[in-house]
Chains A and B, each alone.
Chain A
Amino acid sequence: DAKTTQPNSMESNEEEPVHLPCNHSTISGTDYIHWYRQLPSQGPEYVIHGLTSNVNNRMASLAIAEDRKSSTLILHRATLRDAAVYYCIRRPSASGGSYIPTFGRGTSLIVHP
């Protein structure tokens, strides 16, 4: 049970913004939302995480719904190197419960030149 739901795949054109959705309707108040991506033939790598407020870093932005039941990873200008599988998972706060970090199937992002 991944506890998050994502579309199987999405497509984008290079240089265009990409919005990758994730549903986590059963999230608890102390769970963080983490996003990872897995490039071909590599291990997953951390992208961004957040709790309630929107977050930005050099890789992406994370928009979290006000009710926290969903979030969106935003790649502002997709490049061919962004073609990967993107996963969102729940992670407890450091003082929260210790449940298994479960990865679902993620969203396979295809970027067209």
Chain B
Amino acid sequence: DAGVIQSPRHEVTEMGQEVTLRCKPISGHNSLFWYRQTMMRGLELLIYFNNNVPIDDSGMPEDRFSAKMPNASFSTLKIQPSEPRDSAVYFCASSAQQGGELFFGEGSRLTVL
């Protein structure tokens, strides 16, 4: 298995632009997590899905952030409009069951100018 796949690996954009980050979880995993990591705040959970259904989105910073999981093999995290303070590394992780081992992708490094 290729593991959790995220794209793009790097994104540089200007303030106000829409950003879409993508994640393909490991096949057969039914839980998916989006995290954001910054030096200031560490690794923060934004949202997680179980069986494609959002379970907890209390970590989503504000309405500019949205996440979808249209099927078991794909999820997106969208920021519209983006702001410089959104600059961070965004990680996607999946697990085979709710309490299971988490497998992380390599992350998407976002820079908003």
Closest to A101 in B: B102
Report A74-113 residues with CB < 8 Å from chain B CB: 87, 91-94, 96, 98, 100-106
* CB atoms of B98 and A36 under 8 A apart: no
- Known A-B contacts A103-B42, A104-B42, A105-B42; the reply to A46 vs B101 at CB < 8 A is yes
Chain B interface residue number, banded: 20 to 34
* CB atoms of A100 and B45 under 8 A apart: yes
Q: Which residues of B contact A21 (CB under 8 A)?
A: none
8 Å CB contact of B33 from A42, A101, A105: A101
A-contact bits for B29-55, CB 8 A (1 contact / 0 none): 000010100000011010010100001
Q: Which residues of A contact B43 (CB under 8 A)?
A: 44, 87, 103
Report A's interface with B, CB cutoff 8 A. Answer: 32, 34, 36, 42-46, 49, 87, 91-94, 96, 98, 100-106
Report B's interface with A, CB cutoff 8 A. Answer: 4, 33, 35, 42-43, 45, 48, 50, 55-56, 59, 91, 93, 97-107
